[in-house]
Amino acid sequence: MYRFDFVVEDNGKPWLMEVNQSPNLLGKHFKVGCDHMMKYNTIHDLLYMLGVTAPGEPSVTVPQLSEEECIEKCSNLEEVWDVACWRCPGWFTENEANTLLEGATEYARRTKFSLVYPTVDDGYSKFVSGGLTAHDKAFQRFVKSIQEKPEAISYFQPELCTNRRQCNWHGDCVNGGCTCDSGYDGNNCSIYTGNKRHMQDNVVNPNGVNQPNFNSSYNFV
């Protein structure tokens, strides 16, 4: 987290005075309720956006469609909002898809935070030294496409389940998250992949309960 300190002239012109890394969020400067609540909500929203969760809380993964499903569903490369297509030929590498998933998840959980960069109109790319990386371009494509289908953002906001019905009858609810049957994927097992699951796709914990193998960690400003 960074804090930007500005002063504003009488004519409205702002000046950036300094940038503080890991700013002090104690309410010692303004000991009033609104200041305390503002900082409390800021910390809460930041941890939520970064995906700091309790052990066992469900997460999301990038599905892997079969070759036939890719040909049938993923011909339009502009529909980057469709996470099911990310691992299809011509879309993203495995590394790009996993990094994009982390960025898209943070974007979906941003609450009251505003995304400063990248923008839909690509207004700041010219200031990036060395140009955009493949990960930058992938995330920018996602941000642009999600404007056309904003409801697709719900994929990156996993919900707790309590029974098999909430996994679309294609998975079991384990520790509040859906563990999908072979051939299905997604946070609620709604995506048909046509692929069979391999044994390494699940991790068996010491209690003998199968859990999805989740790995996600990404920061962006």
Question: pLDDT digit string (tens) for 130-164?
Answer: 888 899 899 999 999 998 888 888 777 766 677 88
* Residue tagged 């939520």 (tokens): 48
Separation CA 137–CA 54 (nearest Å): 32
Q: Domain residues of the chain, as ranges? A: 60-156, 159-198
Q: Using an 8 Å Cβ cutoff, are 65 and 194 in contact? A: yes
- Enumerate the β-bridge partners of residue 178: 173
Q: Using an 8 Å Cβ cutoff, are 194 and 66 in contact? A: yes
Q: Using an 8 Å Cβ cutoff, are 212 and 59 in contact? A: yes
Tell which wins on pLDDT, 7 or 179.
7
Question: What confidence score (pLDDT) does residue 93 get?
Answer: 92
Structure tokens at 144: 């642009």
Question: What confidence score (pLDDT) does residue 17 get?
Answer: 92
Q: What is the fold of 159-198?
A: Laminin (2.10.25)
Mean pLDDT of 36-46: 77
Contacts of 47 (CB under 8 A, 6+ apart): none
Mean pLDDT of 164-178: 84
Q: What is the mean pLDDT of the chain?
A: 78
Three-state DSSP at 101 gives helix
Q: Model confidence at 86, in pLDDT bands (50, 70, 90)?
A: very high
Question: What confidence score (pLDDT) does residue 179 get?
Answer: 84
Give the global pTM. 0.63
What is the number of H-type helices and E-type strands within the chain?
4, 8
Residue 182: pLDDT above 70? yes
